[in-house]
Amino acid sequence: MTVHVVGAGLAGLGAATALAEAGLAVEVSEAAAQAGGRCRSYFDAQVGLTIDNGNHLVLSGNPAVKAYLARLGASDRLTGPAETQFPFVDLASGERWTVRPNPSVLPWWIFSRARGVPGAKLGDYLGLAGLLNAKAGQRVDEAIACEGPVWDRLMRPVLLAALNLAPEAGAAELAANVVRETLAKGGAAYAPRVPTPGLAAAFVDPALAYLDARGAGVRLQRRLTGLEAADRRVTGLTFSDGGAVTLAAADRVVLAVPPWIAAELLPGLTVPDAFESIVNGHFRLAPPPGAPLITGVLNSTVEWIFCFEDRISVTVSGANAIIGEARESLARRLWAEVAQALALPAHLPPWQIVKEKRATFAATVEQQARRPGTRTELANLALAGDWTRTGLPATIEGALRSGAAAARHVIEETRR
Protein backbone atom coordinates (compact mmCIF):
# COMPACT_ATOMS: atom_id res chain seq x y z
CA MET A 1 0.00 0.00 0.00
CA THR A 2 1.37 3.43 -0.99
CA VAL A 3 0.25 6.92 -0.02
CA HIS A 4 0.80 9.38 -2.87
CA VAL A 5 1.32 12.87 -1.48
CA VAL A 6 0.96 15.49 -4.19
CA GLY A 7 2.59 18.83 -3.39
CA ALA A 8 5.66 19.32 -1.22
CA GLY A 9 4.72 22.56 0.49
CA LEU A 10 4.51 22.41 4.26
CA ALA A 11 1.08 20.77 4.20
CA GLY A 12 2.40 17.99 1.95
CA LEU A 13 5.65 17.62 3.89
CA GLY A 14 3.72 17.62 7.16
CA ALA A 15 1.46 14.83 5.88
CA ALA A 16 4.29 12.85 4.28
CA THR A 17 6.51 12.90 7.38
CA ALA A 18 3.61 11.92 9.67
CA LEU A 19 2.72 9.05 7.32
CA ALA A 20 6.35 7.92 7.15
CA GLU A 21 6.55 8.10 10.94
CA ALA A 22 3.55 5.75 11.09
CA GLY A 23 5.49 3.31 8.92
CA LEU A 24 3.49 3.79 5.71
CA ALA A 25 5.09 3.80 2.26
CA VAL A 26 5.03 7.35 0.91
CA GLU A 27 5.67 8.81 -2.56
CA VAL A 28 5.78 12.61 -2.80
CA SER A 29 5.37 14.36 -6.17
CA GLU A 30 6.12 18.07 -6.44
CA ALA A 31 5.64 20.22 -9.53
CA ALA A 32 8.42 22.70 -8.77
CA ALA A 33 12.17 22.11 -8.90
CA GLN A 34 12.38 22.50 -5.13
CA ALA A 35 10.25 21.55 -2.16
CA GLY A 36 8.75 24.07 0.26
CA GLY A 37 6.11 25.78 -1.90
CA ARG A 38 5.42 29.22 -0.48
CA CYS A 39 7.98 28.55 2.23
CA ARG A 40 11.29 28.35 0.44
CA SER A 41 14.86 29.62 0.49
CA TYR A 42 17.03 30.26 -2.55
CA PHE A 43 20.31 31.88 -3.53
CA ASP A 44 19.50 35.28 -4.97
CA ALA A 45 22.22 36.51 -7.32
CA GLN A 46 21.06 40.14 -7.24
CA VAL A 47 21.47 40.43 -3.51
CA GLY A 48 24.27 37.84 -3.32
CA LEU A 49 22.75 35.90 -0.42
CA THR A 50 20.53 32.94 0.32
CA ILE A 51 17.20 34.47 1.22
CA ASP A 52 13.66 33.31 1.87
CA ASN A 53 10.87 34.10 -0.57
CA GLY A 54 9.29 35.87 2.36
CA ASN A 55 9.85 36.44 6.04
CA HIS A 56 7.93 33.91 8.08
CA LEU A 57 7.08 34.33 11.72
CA VAL A 58 5.69 31.52 13.85
CA LEU A 59 4.86 31.56 17.54
CA SER A 60 6.46 29.66 20.41
CA GLY A 61 3.18 27.93 21.26
CA ASN A 62 2.17 26.80 17.76
CA PRO A 63 1.39 23.12 18.46
CA ALA A 64 1.64 21.75 14.93
CA VAL A 65 4.92 23.60 14.30
CA LYS A 66 6.34 22.18 17.52
CA ALA A 67 5.21 18.63 16.71
CA TYR A 68 6.56 18.82 13.15
CA LEU A 69 9.98 20.14 14.13
CA ALA A 70 10.22 17.63 16.99
CA ARG A 71 9.47 14.79 14.57
CA LEU A 72 12.25 16.01 12.29
CA GLY A 73 14.73 16.63 15.12
CA ALA A 74 14.78 20.29 14.06
CA SER A 75 13.33 22.02 17.13
CA ASP A 76 16.51 24.09 17.40
CA ARG A 77 15.93 25.78 14.04
CA LEU A 78 13.74 28.57 15.40
CA THR A 79 15.14 31.60 17.17
CA GLY A 80 13.56 34.46 19.04
CA PRO A 81 13.68 36.40 22.26
CA ALA A 82 13.58 34.47 25.54
CA GLU A 83 10.69 36.68 26.65
CA THR A 84 7.67 37.52 24.55
CA GLN A 85 8.11 41.02 23.19
CA PHE A 86 6.98 43.03 20.23
CA PRO A 87 8.90 46.28 19.60
CA PHE A 88 7.10 48.91 17.53
CA VAL A 89 8.03 52.21 15.95
CA ASP A 90 5.58 54.79 14.60
CA LEU A 91 7.24 56.55 11.66
CA ALA A 92 4.79 59.45 11.76
CA SER A 93 5.33 60.39 15.40
CA GLY A 94 8.74 58.83 15.98
CA GLU A 95 7.37 57.05 19.08
CA ARG A 96 8.80 53.68 20.05
CA TRP A 97 7.40 51.12 22.45
CA THR A 98 7.70 47.45 23.23
CA VAL A 99 4.72 45.33 24.20
CA ARG A 100 5.93 42.70 26.67
CA PRO A 101 3.17 40.29 27.71
CA ASN A 102 3.90 38.24 30.83
CA PRO A 103 4.20 34.46 30.27
CA SER A 104 1.22 33.28 32.32
CA VAL A 105 -2.45 33.12 31.35
CA LEU A 106 -3.36 35.97 33.70
CA PRO A 107 -2.48 39.02 31.56
CA TRP A 108 -1.25 41.43 34.22
CA TRP A 109 0.93 43.10 31.57
CA ILE A 110 -2.09 45.08 30.40
CA PHE A 111 -1.98 47.00 33.72
CA SER A 112 1.72 47.77 33.38
CA ARG A 113 2.85 50.98 31.71
CA ALA A 114 6.23 49.45 30.99
CA ARG A 115 4.76 46.41 29.25
CA GLY A 116 1.47 47.46 27.72
CA VAL A 117 0.43 49.61 24.77
CA PRO A 118 1.20 53.29 25.43
CA GLY A 119 -1.92 55.32 26.07
CA ALA A 120 -4.17 52.28 26.46
CA LYS A 121 -6.83 51.98 29.12
CA LEU A 122 -8.19 48.71 30.48
CA GLY A 123 -11.37 49.14 28.41
CA ASP A 124 -9.31 49.22 25.21
CA TYR A 125 -8.09 45.70 25.94
CA LEU A 126 -11.44 44.43 27.18
CA GLY A 127 -13.09 45.59 23.95
CA LEU A 128 -11.27 42.78 22.17
CA ALA A 129 -13.35 40.25 24.04
CA GLY A 130 -16.14 41.00 21.56
CA LEU A 131 -14.15 39.09 18.98
CA LEU A 132 -14.40 35.91 21.01
CA ASN A 133 -18.20 36.24 21.05
CA ALA A 134 -18.47 37.05 17.36
CA LYS A 135 -21.34 35.45 15.51
CA ALA A 136 -20.69 33.17 12.55
CA GLY A 137 -20.40 35.19 9.37
CA GLN A 138 -19.41 38.46 11.05
CA ARG A 139 -16.57 40.65 9.89
CA VAL A 140 -14.05 41.86 12.44
CA ASP A 141 -15.44 45.41 12.27
CA GLU A 142 -18.93 44.07 12.93
CA ALA A 143 -17.73 42.26 16.04
CA ILE A 144 -15.56 44.94 17.67
CA ALA A 145 -14.85 48.65 17.41
CA CYS A 146 -11.66 48.78 15.37
CA GLU A 147 -10.25 51.86 17.05
CA GLY A 148 -8.26 53.02 20.04
CA PRO A 149 -4.65 52.53 21.05
CA VAL A 150 -4.76 48.75 21.56
CA TRP A 151 -6.32 48.27 18.15
CA ASP A 152 -4.08 50.76 16.33
CA ARG A 153 -0.82 49.93 18.06
CA LEU A 154 -1.02 46.20 18.62
CA MET A 155 -4.00 44.29 17.33
CA ARG A 156 -4.25 45.87 13.90
CA PRO A 157 -0.63 45.18 12.94
CA VAL A 158 -0.74 41.68 14.44
CA LEU A 159 -4.03 40.74 12.75
CA LEU A 160 -2.95 42.30 9.46
CA ALA A 161 0.04 39.95 9.51
CA ALA A 162 -2.01 36.93 10.59
CA LEU A 163 -4.96 37.45 8.21
CA ASN A 164 -2.93 39.05 5.41
CA LEU A 165 -5.58 41.62 4.68
CA ALA A 166 -6.93 44.80 6.27
CA PRO A 167 -8.18 43.12 9.44
CA GLU A 168 -11.36 45.21 9.66
CA ALA A 169 -12.58 43.30 6.59
CA GLY A 170 -11.44 39.91 7.87
CA ALA A 171 -13.59 37.06 9.13
CA ALA A 172 -14.11 37.57 12.87
CA GLU A 173 -14.08 33.80 13.33
CA LEU A 174 -10.48 33.61 12.06
CA ALA A 175 -9.33 36.66 14.03
CA ALA A 176 -10.95 35.19 17.16
CA ASN A 177 -9.10 31.92 16.70
CA VAL A 178 -5.84 33.84 16.41
CA VAL A 179 -6.65 35.62 19.69
CA ARG A 180 -7.64 32.30 21.35
CA GLU A 181 -4.30 30.79 20.41
CA THR A 182 -2.26 33.82 21.46
CA LEU A 183 -3.49 36.50 23.87
CA ALA A 184 -5.90 34.13 25.62
CA LYS A 185 -3.17 31.57 26.32
CA GLY A 186 -0.64 33.89 27.96
CA GLY A 187 2.59 35.38 26.70
CA ALA A 188 4.51 32.08 26.73
CA ALA A 189 2.29 30.90 23.85
CA TYR A 190 3.14 33.71 21.50
CA ALA A 191 6.80 34.58 21.70
CA PRO A 192 7.93 35.39 18.15
CA ARG A 193 10.01 32.68 16.48
CA VAL A 194 11.85 32.99 13.18
CA PRO A 195 13.31 30.09 11.16
CA THR A 196 17.09 30.25 11.28
CA PRO A 197 19.14 30.62 9.18
CA GLY A 198 16.14 30.39 6.86
CA LEU A 199 12.96 28.59 5.86
CA ALA A 200 14.61 25.69 4.05
CA ALA A 201 16.99 24.91 6.91
CA ALA A 202 14.17 24.88 9.44
CA PHE A 203 11.15 23.48 7.64
CA VAL A 204 12.14 21.85 4.37
CA ASP A 205 15.60 20.25 4.40
CA PRO A 206 15.00 18.34 7.66
CA ALA A 207 11.74 16.96 6.21
CA LEU A 208 13.46 15.81 3.02
CA ALA A 209 16.21 14.14 5.09
CA TYR A 210 13.57 12.51 7.30
CA LEU A 211 11.69 11.13 4.31
CA ASP A 212 14.88 9.95 2.63
CA ALA A 213 15.96 8.09 5.79
CA ARG A 214 12.63 6.26 5.80
CA GLY A 215 12.76 5.27 2.17
CA ALA A 216 10.03 7.68 1.05
CA GLY A 217 10.46 8.93 -2.50
CA VAL A 218 10.33 12.65 -3.24
CA ARG A 219 10.13 13.45 -6.92
CA LEU A 220 10.56 17.05 -7.96
CA GLN A 221 9.41 18.58 -11.28
CA ARG A 222 6.65 16.04 -11.37
CA ARG A 223 3.34 17.82 -11.75
CA LEU A 224 0.10 15.94 -11.29
CA THR A 225 -1.90 16.65 -14.44
CA GLY A 226 -4.88 14.35 -14.07
CA LEU A 227 -6.81 12.18 -11.65
CA GLU A 228 -8.91 9.25 -12.78
CA ALA A 229 -11.76 8.15 -10.56
CA ALA A 230 -14.31 5.37 -10.53
CA ASP A 231 -16.78 4.23 -7.88
CA ARG A 232 -15.91 7.23 -5.73
CA ARG A 233 -12.25 6.29 -5.56
CA VAL A 234 -9.16 7.59 -7.28
CA THR A 235 -7.95 4.89 -9.60
CA GLY A 236 -5.12 6.59 -11.46
CA LEU A 237 -2.75 9.54 -11.45
CA THR A 238 -1.02 11.05 -14.46
CA PHE A 239 2.03 13.26 -14.24
CA SER A 240 3.71 15.86 -16.42
CA ASP A 241 6.80 13.65 -16.84
CA GLY A 242 4.66 11.15 -18.71
CA GLY A 243 4.45 8.89 -15.70
CA ALA A 244 1.15 7.29 -14.79
CA VAL A 245 0.24 5.40 -11.66
CA THR A 246 -2.60 2.92 -11.39
CA LEU A 247 -3.69 2.85 -7.80
CA ALA A 248 -4.09 -0.44 -5.97
CA ALA A 249 -7.26 -0.80 -3.91
CA ALA A 250 -5.46 0.08 -0.67
CA ASP A 251 -3.50 3.05 -2.08
CA ARG A 252 -4.33 6.55 -0.93
CA VAL A 253 -3.77 10.09 -2.15
CA VAL A 254 -3.15 13.27 -0.18
CA LEU A 255 -3.70 16.25 -2.44
CA ALA A 256 -1.67 19.14 -0.96
CA VAL A 257 -1.65 21.58 -3.87
CA PRO A 258 -2.89 25.22 -4.01
CA PRO A 259 -6.68 25.64 -4.14
CA TRP A 260 -6.93 26.61 -7.81
CA ILE A 261 -4.98 23.48 -8.79
CA ALA A 262 -7.15 21.28 -6.55
CA ALA A 263 -10.26 22.71 -8.21
CA GLU A 264 -8.84 21.96 -11.68
CA LEU A 265 -8.05 18.39 -10.69
CA LEU A 266 -11.33 17.84 -8.84
CA PRO A 267 -14.07 19.62 -10.79
CA GLY A 268 -16.94 20.58 -8.50
CA LEU A 269 -14.74 21.14 -5.44
CA THR A 270 -15.47 24.49 -3.82
CA VAL A 271 -12.27 26.27 -2.80
CA PRO A 272 -11.22 29.82 -1.89
CA ASP A 273 -10.91 31.89 -5.04
CA ALA A 274 -9.80 35.31 -3.82
CA PHE A 275 -6.25 35.95 -2.76
CA GLU A 276 -4.03 38.55 -1.13
CA SER A 277 -0.45 39.40 -2.01
CA ILE A 278 2.64 39.81 0.13
CA VAL A 279 5.65 41.89 -0.87
CA ASN A 280 9.02 41.30 0.76
CA GLY A 281 12.07 43.53 0.45
CA HIS A 282 15.50 42.06 1.20
CA PHE A 283 18.48 44.35 1.79
CA ARG A 284 22.08 43.16 2.11
CA LEU A 285 23.22 45.06 5.13
CA ALA A 286 24.03 43.72 8.59
CA PRO A 287 21.55 45.20 11.05
CA PRO A 288 22.78 47.64 13.68
CA PRO A 289 24.03 45.96 16.88
CA GLY A 290 21.20 45.25 19.30
CA ALA A 291 18.45 45.66 16.67
CA PRO A 292 15.47 43.47 17.63
CA LEU A 293 14.79 40.34 15.57
CA ILE A 294 11.47 41.81 14.48
CA THR A 295 10.05 45.32 14.70
CA GLY A 296 6.50 46.37 13.88
CA VAL A 297 6.31 49.61 11.91
CA LEU A 298 3.27 51.90 11.87
CA ASN A 299 2.22 54.67 9.50
CA SER A 300 4.40 53.24 6.75
CA THR A 301 4.28 50.82 3.83
CA VAL A 302 6.69 48.49 5.67
CA GLU A 303 4.84 46.55 8.34
CA TRP A 304 7.49 44.34 9.91
CA ILE A 305 11.27 44.55 9.80
CA PHE A 306 13.21 41.31 10.30
CA CYS A 307 16.88 41.63 11.27
CA PHE A 308 18.93 38.62 10.20
CA GLU A 309 22.68 38.34 10.68
CA ASP A 310 23.49 39.17 7.06
CA ARG A 311 20.44 41.11 5.89
CA ILE A 312 17.44 43.20 6.77
CA SER A 313 14.16 41.99 5.29
CA VAL A 314 10.79 43.64 5.39
CA THR A 315 7.25 42.40 4.95
CA VAL A 316 4.24 44.17 3.50
CA SER A 317 1.10 42.06 3.98
CA GLY A 318 -2.24 42.60 2.29
CA ALA A 319 -0.18 44.06 -0.54
CA ASN A 320 -2.62 43.88 -3.48
CA ALA A 321 -2.50 47.67 -3.79
CA ILE A 322 1.29 47.80 -4.36
CA ILE A 323 1.97 44.50 -6.09
CA GLY A 324 2.02 46.20 -9.50
CA GLU A 325 4.54 48.87 -8.50
CA ALA A 326 7.99 48.67 -10.12
CA ARG A 327 10.55 46.74 -8.06
CA GLU A 328 13.14 49.50 -7.84
CA SER A 329 10.60 52.09 -6.78
CA LEU A 330 9.38 49.69 -4.08
CA ALA A 331 12.93 48.97 -2.95
CA ARG A 332 13.67 52.69 -2.57
CA ARG A 333 10.43 53.38 -0.72
CA LEU A 334 10.79 50.44 1.64
CA TRP A 335 14.46 51.16 2.34
CA ALA A 336 13.76 54.81 3.17
CA GLU A 337 11.37 53.58 5.87
CA VAL A 338 13.81 50.95 7.18
CA ALA A 339 16.57 53.59 7.34
CA GLN A 340 14.26 55.84 9.36
CA ALA A 341 13.12 53.04 11.67
CA LEU A 342 16.59 51.64 12.40
CA ALA A 343 18.56 54.91 12.09
CA LEU A 344 20.60 53.65 9.13
CA PRO A 345 22.10 55.53 6.14
CA ALA A 346 19.58 56.40 3.42
CA HIS A 347 21.85 54.94 0.69
CA LEU A 348 20.11 51.91 -0.84
CA PRO A 349 22.07 48.68 -0.17
CA PRO A 350 21.95 45.70 -2.60
CA TRP A 351 18.32 44.69 -2.65
CA GLN A 352 15.72 42.27 -3.93
CA ILE A 353 11.96 42.57 -4.00
CA VAL A 354 9.96 39.32 -3.94
CA LYS A 355 6.31 39.59 -4.89
CA GLU A 356 3.97 36.71 -4.03
CA LYS A 357 0.73 37.51 -5.81
CA ARG A 358 -1.37 34.70 -4.41
CA ALA A 359 0.40 34.56 -1.05
CA THR A 360 -2.71 33.51 0.87
CA PHE A 361 -6.44 33.15 0.35
CA ALA A 362 -8.24 36.31 1.42
CA ALA A 363 -9.31 35.71 5.02
CA THR A 364 -12.82 37.10 4.53
CA VAL A 365 -16.17 35.68 5.59
CA GLU A 366 -16.94 34.74 1.97
CA GLN A 367 -13.67 32.90 1.46
CA GLN A 368 -13.83 31.22 4.85
CA ALA A 369 -17.14 29.66 3.75
CA ARG A 370 -15.44 28.15 0.69
CA ARG A 371 -12.81 26.15 2.59
CA PRO A 372 -13.32 22.41 2.30
CA GLY A 373 -12.50 19.85 4.98
CA THR A 374 -9.96 17.03 4.80
CA ARG A 375 -12.28 14.40 3.40
CA THR A 376 -13.63 14.46 -0.12
CA GLU A 377 -16.22 12.53 -2.05
CA LEU A 378 -13.41 10.27 -3.19
CA ALA A 379 -12.93 7.79 -0.36
CA ASN A 380 -9.20 7.37 -0.83
CA LEU A 381 -8.32 11.05 -1.35
CA ALA A 382 -7.70 13.57 1.42
CA LEU A 383 -7.06 17.28 1.01
CA ALA A 384 -4.36 19.30 2.75
CA GLY A 385 -3.27 22.91 2.46
CA ASP A 386 -3.49 26.12 4.45
CA TRP A 387 -6.68 26.87 2.52
CA THR A 388 -8.58 23.84 3.84
CA ARG A 389 -10.82 24.24 6.89
CA THR A 390 -8.16 24.50 9.60
CA GLY A 391 -9.89 27.20 11.65
CA LEU A 392 -6.83 29.39 11.13
CA PRO A 393 -5.88 31.91 8.48
CA ALA A 394 -3.30 30.79 5.89
CA THR A 395 -0.26 30.17 8.05
CA ILE A 396 2.50 27.62 8.55
CA GLU A 397 0.64 26.39 11.63
CA GLY A 398 -2.51 25.95 9.55
CA ALA A 399 -0.67 24.22 6.70
CA LEU A 400 0.98 21.79 9.12
CA ARG A 401 -2.31 21.14 10.92
CA SER A 402 -3.96 20.34 7.61
CA GLY A 403 -1.14 17.92 6.73
CA ALA A 404 -1.41 16.27 10.13
CA ALA A 405 -5.20 15.96 9.73
CA ALA A 406 -4.84 14.36 6.30
CA ALA A 407 -2.23 11.91 7.62
CA ARG A 408 -4.45 11.04 10.60
CA HIS A 409 -7.36 10.39 8.26
CA VAL A 410 -5.27 8.10 6.04
CA ILE A 411 -3.80 6.23 9.00
CA GLU A 412 -7.27 5.70 10.53
CA GLU A 413 -8.60 4.43 7.21
CA THR A 414 -5.74 1.99 6.76
CA ARG A 415 -6.33 0.57 10.26
CA ARG A 416 -10.00 -0.17 9.65
Backbone angles phi, psi at 158, to 5 degrees: -70, -45
Which residues have CB under 8 Å from 216's CB, separation 6+? Answer: 16, 20, 25, 26, 27, 28
Distance, in Å, from the CA atom of 248 to the CA atom of 250, rounded to the nearest integer, reads 5
Nearer to ligand FAD, 154 or 359 (CB): 359
Nearer to ligand FAD, 152 or 397 (CB): 397
Find the farthest-apart pair of alpha carbons in the chain and give their distance in angstroms, rounded.
66
Bridge pairing between strands 86-90 and 49-52: unpaired
Specify the 3-state DSSP secondary structure of 178. Answer: helix
Q: Which residues form the interface with ligand FAD (CB under 6 A)?
A: 6-12, 29-32, 37-39, 53-54, 56-58, 223-224, 256-258, 261, 278, 280, 356, 359-360, 385-386, 394-397, 399
CB of 174 to ligand FAD, least distance (A): 13
Query: How many C-beta neighbours within 10 Å does residue 318 have?
Result: 24
CB of 372 to ligand FAD, least distance (A): 13
Q: Please say whether the dihedral angle defined by the alpha carbons of residues 341, 344, 346 and 350, taken in this order, is positive or negative.
A: negative
CB of 140 to ligand FAD, least distance (A): 19
Nearer to ligand FAD, 278 or 342 (CB): 278
- Length of the chain equals 416
Which residues have CB under 8 Å from 275's CB, separation 6+? Answer: 357, 358, 359, 360, 361, 362
DSSP state at residue 353: E
How remote is the C-alpha of 318 from its chain's centroid? 13
CB of 53 to ligand FAD, least distance (A): 6
Nearer to ligand FAD, 8 or 174 (CB): 8
Specify the 3-state DSSP secondary structure of 400. Answer: helix
CB of 275 to ligand FAD, least distance (A): 10
Nearer to ligand FAD, 22 or 32 (CB): 32
DSSP strands (E only) in 231-310: 233-239, 244-246, 252-255, 275-283, 294-298, 304-307
Nearer to ligand FAD, 315 or 380 (CB): 315
CB of 201 to ligand FAD, least distance (A): 15
Nearer to ligand FAD, 6 or 150 (CB): 6
Query: How many C-beta neighbours within 10 Å does residue 290 have?
Result: 6
CB of 157 to ligand FAD, least distance (A): 13
